[in-house]
């Protein structure tokens, strides 16, 4: 089961976060979370397998400084 760990404001940010998490060895998927006609300008969800949620949250806090 895939779990949302972050909602990015647009596709470029989502792709950047996806790449960073993948570099940490995580499986990552992104999907549109907003209105489809907004295209890359809409929000995108960052998802990881349920078993990797804790790891992803640690990595996100490091990457995003939260």
Q: What digits encode the pLDDT tens for the residues 13-60?
A: 999 999 999 999 999 999 998 776 666 778 999 999 999 999 999 999
Q: CA torsion 27→62→54→49, rounded to 10°?
A: -20
pLDDT (0 to 100) of residue 25: 96
* Average pLDDT over the chain, rounded to an integer: 91
pLDDT (0 to 100) of residue 47: 98
pLDDT (0 to 100) of residue 62: 87
For the chain, which domains are there? Answer: 2-64 (3.30.70)
Q: What angle do CA 63, 2, 10 make, to 5 degrees?
A: 50
Split at pLDDT 50, 70, 90, the class of 66 is low
- Does the pTM surpass 0.85? The reply is yes
């Amino acid at each position: 089961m895939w779990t949302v760990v972050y909602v990015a404001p647009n596709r470029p940010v989502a792709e950047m976060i996806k790449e960073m998490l993948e570099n940490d060895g995580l499986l990552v998927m992104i999907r549109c979370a907003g209105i489809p006609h907004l295209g890359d300008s809409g929000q995108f969800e960052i998802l990881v397998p349920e078993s990797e949620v804790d790891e992803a949250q640690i990595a996100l806090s490091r990457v995003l400084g939260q």
